Structure 1
Amino acid sequence: MEQRPGKREERKVTESGHRRTAVAESGSPATGARIAGLGAYRPQTVVSNEQAAADAGVAPEWIAQRVGIHERRRATGSETVVGMAVEAAREALDAAGKDANDVDVVILATCSLPTAMPNGAARVAAGLGCRAAAGFDLNAACAGFNHALAVADGLVRSAVARNVLVVGAERMTDWVSAHDRDTGPIFADGAAAALVVPAIRPGIFPVAWGGDGERADLIRIRADTGRMEMAGREVFAWAVTALTPVIRAACERAGFEPGELKGFVPHQANLRIVKALGAAVGAAGSVTATDVTHTGNTCGASVPLALHALRQRGELTAGDPVLLLGFGAGLSYAAQVVLSP
């Protein structure tokens, strides 16, 4: 079993709920961080291409050929962003052998909360029973989980926190019209989570990230309608050209050659983009996640959902190097190599 750096911490909580020792009082900061456990929540309602096509006024074959999606998940009234996040987080904690009292920070990556306040992370922490955990939301849309994972890595390595829960959760169907052929058949709902903990050797490598704010309006939610709009062709052209250097940079910063990767998990935008980026990676021996086919585009939840699916199917083993890539509205992007838990 991997030893934690420094002496074992003592977790003390005052009557007011403030944790006196969030990190070890002795010992140096961790030299690295790793993902200790994954969790996921997929809504119960499955929407077929036949139903999505009828709503959007297109043929089922048109959806499959254009975006490679055959079915997607849609949340019901009781499956909220926070509720789905809590369920995914519980599985991640169980997988890591931790409980709610071990969590120092909750980061919720989302762009689909119905209201701005209170923040979703605070409600996730409360739903889990995290008594004194800090919590905040991070909105980088489809790249949100990758951004949040980079933040969690920094918090753990600097000894600001020991156990950081990173959750990507989205209910995108609240923000798209089922009758809009450009968004309705594509976007879906779900949540996935990762618990980040200290490690003697890095299991999360430096992030390569950035953005192209001048093109931010290519994907937006209109203030007057409350509905999402997306210039699909322009986004496709940008993604398959601008992101190749980001992929290379993430590999270089991790010290891996693309051929050494065992997995490639890009944002599940649509199957055409996923396959184009997979070819650009040039990692013949790696498995490329294609979770979008049966889950749809779940925005900030898509990367951890796809990683969870690969791990559950046994297509990755513990310690395998995997490249994660998120990109979307903003236009924001982030990539990092991680070792599979």
Structure 2
Amino acid sequence: MPRTRIAALGHHQPDHVLTNDDLAGMVDTSDEWIRQRTGIATRRIARDESVADLAAAAAGKALAAAGLDPADIGLVTVATCSAQDRCPSIAAQVAGRLGVPAAVAFDLNNGCAGFTTALATADHALRAGAARHALVIGAEKMSDVTDWTDRSTCVLLGDGAGAAVVSAGEGGGDGRDGIGPVVWGSDPTRGDAVRLRGAWQPRFAQEGQTVFRWATTELVPLIERTCQEAGTTPRELGGIVTHQANLRIIEALVRRLGVEDTVVARDVVDSGNTSAASVPLAFSKLVERRAIEPGAPVLLFSFGGGLSWAGQVVACP
């Protein structure tokens, strides 16, 4: 069975920066209040860009970085929960814009866990021989589903996209050599803790304390299992990229895992919570800065609405 690997990454964010002070002029909040509770300082807001625009921009950069032609791509999938377009899919729109011919193209909605779920889905498809190269994209325009009068949620969310080119090769593989086994699942008994319900226009809502307690108490064993499945341990990782929901959650996971000296993504400070885009966006930035050694094992782990989770260890491109 062929191994798979992330060949290249790309990301895109809107130009407009919304600061905490800007939000303080819109709702009853302050920079200090937001930083203490979330760690967020700024987020990007798309004014004239759609989810498809964000996704295509990130995917085009990843494709160029991989040195592939659009005709090489056999699968395109976009993880998103904020797209207004139901059909054609965002993935089909991205394929059309990039000139990708005849690829299978579909969107995947698993909330904030969407990208790592989509990455595992593409990994399985490539290992089965359904394609040689895939574009896996996480793209969100959360500003479209934000209640700008609710200070508990409007301070959290941002827009952006990240993309990965996934390629099949020869030989075996694990998180040190390619894409390791996925650990994924959900707890639907707490599905209402993060919500995006109703006819369009829906609004994002969540039970913040429920999500915080769940993430900081129940995710560590799942992360440790993800590493075990890949034949490594948290302390042996070259980098950790979790869903960028809240800096307090990230720091709590770092402490419980004992990985204070590991490169850990903290892009939430600058980008806010970009849902399914957060993991590929943060990972792409770390790779662009060469913060992680090429080939080093990197944990990708996302979680959110469902309550769902998905993670795998991958070799850094």
1:21 is matched with which residue?
none
Q: What do the CA deviations read for 1:18-65 (whole angstroms, capped 9, x no partner)?
A: xxxxxxxxxxx41x1000010000110001110012222111110011
Q: TM-score, normalised by structure 1?
A: 0.89
Q: TM-score, normalised by structure 2?
A: 0.96
1:201-280 matches, cutoff 5 A: 201-202=172-173, 203-223=178-198, 226-280=202-256
Q: Is the 8 A contact 1:56 1:185 kept in 2?
A: no
Task: Let me know the Cα RMSD of the aligned residues.
Answer: 1.1
**Letter matched to residue 322 of structure 1:** V
The 2-side partners of 1:177 and 1:193 are apart by 27
Q: Which stretches in structure 1 are left out of the alignment for 5+ residues? A: 1-28
Q: Is the 8 A contact 1:261 1:285 kept in 2?
A: no
Q: What do the CA deviations read for 1:265-298 (whole angstroms, capped 9, x no partner)?
A: 0000010011111222223441110000001100
- Secondary structure in 1 aligned to 2:166? strand
- Bigger drift between 83-92 and 279-288 goes to 279-288
Q: What do the CA deviations read for 1:228-257 (whole angstroms, capped 9, x no partner)?
A: 111111100011111111101100000002
1:4 is matched with which residue?
none
**Letter matched to residue 157 of structure 2:** F
**Letter matched to residue 190 of structure 2:** R
Percent identity of equivalent pairs: 47
Deviating above 4 A after TM superposition, structure 1's stretches of 4 or more consecutive aligned residues are none
**2:265 aligned to which of 282, 286, 289:** 289
**Greater Rg, structure 1 or structure 2?**
1
1:67 is matched with which residue?
38
Q: Is the 8 A contact 2:51 2:141 kept in 1?
A: yes
Q: Which has the higher contact order (CA 8 A, sep 6+)?
A: 2
**Letter matched to residue 48 of structure 1:** T
1:45 is matched with which residue?
16
1:318 is matched with which residue?
294
CA shift, 1:217, in A, is: 0.7
Q: What do the CA deviations read for 1:288-312 (whole angstroms, capped 9, x no partner)?
A: 1000000110000000011011111
1:16 is matched with which residue?
none
2:25 is matched with which residue?
54
**Letter matched to residue 215 of structure 2:** A
Instruction: Count the aligned residue pairs.
Output: 311
Does 2:171 align with 1:196?
no
CA shift, 1:127, in A, is: 0.9
Q: Is the 8 A contact 1:259 1:284 kept in 2?
A: no
Q: Is the 8 A contact 2:75 2:105 kept in 1?
A: yes
Q: What do the CA deviations read for 1:207-237 (whole angstroms, capped 9, x no partner)?
A: 1110001111111124166211111111000
**Letter matched to residue 236 of structure 2:** E
Does 2:124 align with 1:154?
yes
The 2-side partners of 1:197 and 1:222 are apart by 35
